[in-house]
Amino acid sequence: MNIVEELLNNHSRLALSKGITAVENEYDNAVEIMTKIYPHTGNAYVIGITGPPGAGKSTMTDKIAKEYRKRGKTVGIVAIDPTSPYSGGAILGDRIRMMDLMSDEGIFVRSMATRGSLGGLSQKAGDAVKLMDAYGFEVIIVETVGVGQSEVDIVKTADTTMVVVIPGMGDDIQAIKAGILEIGDLITINKADREGTDKLNIEMEMMLELNPEHVSWRPPINRTIASKNEGIEAVVDSIEEHKAYLMESGKLAEIRQARIKTEVVAMVNDRVNRYIDKNVVETDDFGKTVARLSTREIEPYSVVEEIVINVLK
């Protein structure tokens, strides 16, 4: 099957799926596919959804996708779940909340495992987004748990980022305050029928109040009960308002250019890292050097200097 041809011209869902597998597994044809589809990307609006485990991100994604379908948009979804660091396996359970989307041709859901951090998950997720974009999906949602730098990196690449929080998490909320909450263009309090919703709402308001960056756009706080589809329309309205703000202020072009820069830097770093792994780290000489370092026979600073000079030669 000619993946690029089938994806671009024949609207083949199988080709889209195979294309994502190619980038995910780093098949030989992955670079060729991405090279050919790149000119056809840049049309989709990308939404990142993140938050702590159990906040209802998958359910929220499902409901937001349905709301966009009602508004006449096609939706691609990339749902990311963590790989077990022990077995290398993963249980990807996001799809369980999205099974009734399976009968809609205007929706495509792809589950991805974080796998190892090496090789750049954010790059692979980014490529999956581009493939969906080239296929023609108008809205693309990237959903991932908000722990770990790589997940935050992925979500940061979205045009609009939404952070989902829930009441009753106590110290967990304190912990994420300093992290992912700051990247939210929208904050959604899900499970808002639970005790502690008002308190959480006040805490979120206070946090936003203290952030000096929120001058021209202040992240709206929405309340939802995603499992009952309550408050979802307002969330989608907020996303659209943020989009309009980005477009009118010219910030969308800025964000996207910054994203391209980040992507290219990451791709270069990835190539360099792989080169060093192959030509330095995995050599016998390097093993010997480490042994000499551990007996303090030599010191690391000149070792590094030597390696860098050799690599850059």
Partner 1 sequence: MANVKVLVAKPGLDGHDRGAKVVARALRDAGFEVIYTGIRLTPEQIAEAALQDDVNVVALSLLSGAHNTLFPKVVELLKEKGLNDVLVIGGGVIPDADIPGLKAAGVAEVFTPGTPTGNIVEFINANVK
The site for partner 1 (CB under 8 A) is made up of: 13-14, 17-18, 20-21, 25-27, 83-84, 87-93, 95-96, 99-100, 102-103, 108-111, 113, 115-116, 119
The nearer residue to partner 1, 69 or 177, going by C-beta atoms, is 69
What own/partner pairs with CB < 8 Å and gap ≥ 24 does 172-179 have? 172/52, 173/200, 173/203, 176/51, 176/52, 176/146, 177/207, 179/146, 179/152
76 bridge partner residues: 108, 140
Q: Minimum Å distance from CB 200 to partner 1?
A: 29
The nearer residue to partner 1, 102 or 253, going by C-beta atoms, is 102
Q: Minimum Å distance from CB 90 to partner 1?
A: 5
The nearer residue to partner 1, 107 or 152, going by C-beta atoms, is 107
Give, in order, the Cα–Cα distances in Å from 212 to each of 181, 182, 206, 233, 287: 14, 11, 12, 29, 49
For 251-267, b/e burial (b = at least 16 CB within 10 A) is ebeebeeebeeebeebe
Q: Minimum Å distance from CB 23 to partner 1?
A: 11
The nearer residue to partner 1, 76 or 146, going by C-beta atoms, is 76
The nearer residue to partner 1, 271 or 288, going by C-beta atoms, is 271
Q: Which pair of structure tokens corresponds to residue 304?
A: 């590094």
d(Cα 103, Cα 120) in Å, to the nearest integer?
32
Q: Minimum Å distance from CB 3 to partner 1?
A: 11
The three-state DSSP-derived secondary structure of 20-86 is HHHHHCCCCCHHHHHHHHHHHCCCCEEEEEEECCCCCHHHHHHHHHHHHHHCCCCEEEEEEECCCCC
The nearer residue to partner 1, 148 or 179, going by C-beta atoms, is 148
The nearer residue to partner 1, 60 or 121, going by C-beta atoms, is 121
The amino acid that residue 210 corresponds to is L
The nearer residue to partner 1, 55 or 109, going by C-beta atoms, is 109
Q: Minimum Å distance from CB 221 to partner 1?
A: 31
Q: Which of 50, 285, 3, 284 is nearest to 190 (CA)?
A: 50
Q: Minimum Å distance from CB 233 to partner 1?
A: 26
d(Cα 74, Cα 207) in Å, to the nearest integer?
35
Q: Minimum Å distance from CB 101 to partner 1?
A: 9
Q: How far is CA 266 from the centre of its chain?
A: 14
Q: How many CA atoms lie within 13 A of 5 on its CB side?
A: 2
Q: Minimum Å distance from CB 61 to partner 1?
A: 14
Quick check: helix, strand or coil at residue 283?
coil
